[in-house]
Amino acid sequence: MKLISFLNRKKAKDKRSHAGILLEDRVLDLQMTMNEFLVGGLKVKSKKYLPLKEVKLIAPVPHPPSCRDAYAFRQHVASARRNRGMEMIPQFDQYPIFYFTNHTAIVGEGKVSVEKDHLEKLDFELEVACVIGKKGKNIESKDADRYIAGFTIMNDFSARQLQMEEMLLSLGPAKGKDFATALGPWLVTPDELEAYKIKTSFGNKYDLWMKATHNGKQVSEGNMKDMNWTFAEIIERCSYGVELQPGDVIGSGTVGTGCYMELNGTWALKAKEKGESFTPIWLKAGDTIELEVAGLGKLKNTIVKTPKDYSILAKKKLP
């Protein structure tokens, strides 16, 4: 199934999101929220259909109980560290790590409103996320794939200047990450991806190509099968001593080449070798970033700057 969350265009006053099942040119309205549907075990009781043109897609899980983002692609980590003159950290191969991001700042396709400081080195991150479908604690990796309700595209928008400034204190990321995480366009249940599945001793992988396009120009490509930690292993780590909830979102982390932080460093090194200058590329107000993953669709966002300027950059409290 392709599961969606939507607003009814004909009922503008109804701001409550609805879960639905996408059926080509129409939608089966489940007449409940996505969280309620996931808690109920993906049981379909509704028979109300709407034309697709009458619904406005929002993030498939607009109000997750939590949102974690992992660090599963070794290529991304190694390249980003190499570009900063750092060796690969051996702990990456010992256990999967993740951080909590802001589960109340989830957006779907369309406009993403950002503040002035976010536009200081604003970056995208090309990722896939899994959504938990049932409660579980201390889940072993051999069982963890059965806890996944579905997969969706994730863009972990990142304000790199804020991120670099605050992480000098060895805490975070926080303000550099908490303003917008895009999910969409829908949630694809695992059975839809059976043909792409690669079974391993540590959980399933999926042979899904991934790419990012900035203002119509492709800038990134990778494959979900290159995750060095499977979602099953990540779920095992996340659920240690903690009960995961239906609707919890867990990102894969950035695929190799999947963000400008990594790409700019690689391009700068190549330019230096040729004796050429290089100007880093970042997202700007008015830009469009589109992420596409085989089997999962396309997630397209446009950056919009808020009209009033606030700033927290470089504000120092001196003795």
pLDDT, tens digit, for every residue of 253-279?
Answer: 999 999 999 999 999 989 999 999 999
Cβ pair 213, 292 in contact under 8 A: yes
Nearest of 271, 257, 260 to residue 161 by alpha carbon:
260
Tokens for 63, please give them.
């109000």
pLDDT for 232 equals: 98
- Whole-angstrom distance, CA of residue 159 vs CA of residue 118: 5
Nearest of 131, 151, 228 to residue 194 by alpha carbon:
151
pTM score, whole prediction: 0.95
Sites in the chain below the pLDDT cut of 70 = 314-319
**CB-side exposure of 248: number of CA atoms within 13 Å?**
22
- Whole-angstrom distance, CA of residue 206 vs CA of residue 122: 29
pLDDT for 317 equals: 62
Domain 67-305: state its class.
Answer: alpha beta
pLDDT for 87 equals: 87
pLDDT for 318 equals: 57
Distances (CA, A) of 186 to 7, 57, 182, 229: 14, 8, 11, 24
Nearest of 129, 166, 168 to residue 149 by alpha carbon:
129
DSSP lists the bridge partners of residue 293 as: 210, 297
DSSP lists the bridge partners of residue 100 as: 68
pLDDT for 58 equals: 98
DSSP lists the bridge partners of residue 23 as: 26
- Whole-angstrom distance, CA of residue 61 vs CA of residue 188: 12
Distances (CA, A) of 164 to 29, 107, 207, 284, 294: 44, 24, 33, 19, 32
pLDDT for 172 equals: 83
- Whole-angstrom distance, CA of residue 34 vs CA of residue 17: 8
Q: What share of the chain is helix, strand, coil (3-state, %, to 5)?
A: 25, 35, 40
- Whole-angstrom distance, CA of residue 252 vs CA of residue 248: 13
**What b-and-e string marks burial along 72-83, b requiring 16 or more CB atoms within 10 Å of the CB?**
bbbbbbbbbbeb
